[in-house]
Amino acid sequence: MKIALVIFTKNERRNSEKMFPKIPLRLFDGIYVVDAKSNDGTRDFYKAKKIKVFDQIYPGVGGAYESAFRNTKKDALVIFHPDGNSDPKALSKMVQLLRKGEQFIIPSRMIKGAANEEDDQSFKYRKWSNQLMSTLVSMLWGRDGNKCSDLTQGYRAMTRRAYEKLNIKIPSPIAPDIEQVIRALKRGIKIVEFPTREGHRLHGKTSMPSIRTSIENLKVFFRELLV
C-alpha cells in the first residue's frame, strides 16, 4: 500500500514553519499540500521544499478533500492540519493501522486517554456539541459496534477505496468531516479510533468559527437524515 500525507493550508506560513519539522516524513510515499489561496507565503514555504501544492475547485475544507483525492494516486491519504491542533505523534499510528488493512482512521479527542483543546475551559462549546452530535449520529447509523466519538476531527486517514464508497460528489465546504462519518456509517465502512492529544492553535485565527461550523454540521445531518 502506498500512503501519502496531504497537508491542508490556508495562510499557515508561521504555523507550518514550526509544525512541518515535526512530521516524520519517512513514513510516507508522498507529501502534498492542498492550499486555499494563501497570501502569506504558505505556498512558497512548501514549494521551496519541493512539495507539490494543489489548488481547489470547490471551496472550504470539503474542497480540499476533493482536491487531495483527485490530484493524487496513492492508495491512502493521511490528512494533516499544521495549525498546532494536530499532534504529529499520531501519524505513525495512522500509517500502522492503514498497513494493517483499516480503511477509515480518526485520532479521537473524546475517548479515554485523549485531550481536547477546550479541556482547560469551564465552558466547552465545541467539545460538548461534538459529543452530542457524535452520540446521535452513532445511534442513528452505527451498526455492529461501528461508531464515532469525534465527528468533527479533521485529522484523519482514509483509503482511496473508502473515500470513493462515500460517493461525495460536491463536498460540504465547512462540514465535510461529519459528512464523511455519516456516509461511512451508512455504508458499513469501519471507523477505527485511538486517543490523541489536541494542541492549541499556534498563530492566527481559525477559518472555521464554532457557531458557523455547528450550523453547517446540522445542515449536513438533516440532509443525510432525509436521504
Domains observed in the chain: 3-226 (3.90.550.10)
Edge-to-edge strands, sheet with 191-195: 52-54, 30-35, 3-9, 76-80, 156-159, 104-108, 191-195
State the pLDDT at residue 192.
98
Please give the residue that has the higher pLDDT: either 109 or 130.
Answer: 109
Q: How many Cβ atoms are within 10 Å of 44's Cβ, its own excluded?
A: 12
Confidence of residue 126 (pLDDT cuts 50, 70, 90): confident
Give this prediction's pTM.
0.93
State the pLDDT at residue 128.
84
Give the whole-number percent of the chain exceeding pLDDT 90: 81
State the pLDDT at residue 178.
96
Using alpha carbons, select from 65, 70, 133 the residue that is nearest to residue 104: 65
Average pLDDT over residues 123-148: 90
State the pLDDT at residue 53.
99
In the numeric block, which cell numbers belong to residue 21? 519539522
The 10s digit of each residue's pLDDT in 12-42 is 999 999 999 999 999 999 999 999 999 999 9
Confidence check: pLDDT of 208 > 70: no
Average pLDDT over residues 123-133: 85
Confidence check: pLDDT of 156 > 70: yes
Q: Which of 161-165, 212-216, 223-227 has the highest mean pLDDT?
A: 161-165
d(CA 126, CA 131): 9
Q: Is the dihedral of CA 208, 211, 215, 220 positive or negative?
A: positive
State the pLDDT at residue 209.
63
State the pLDDT at residue 82.
97
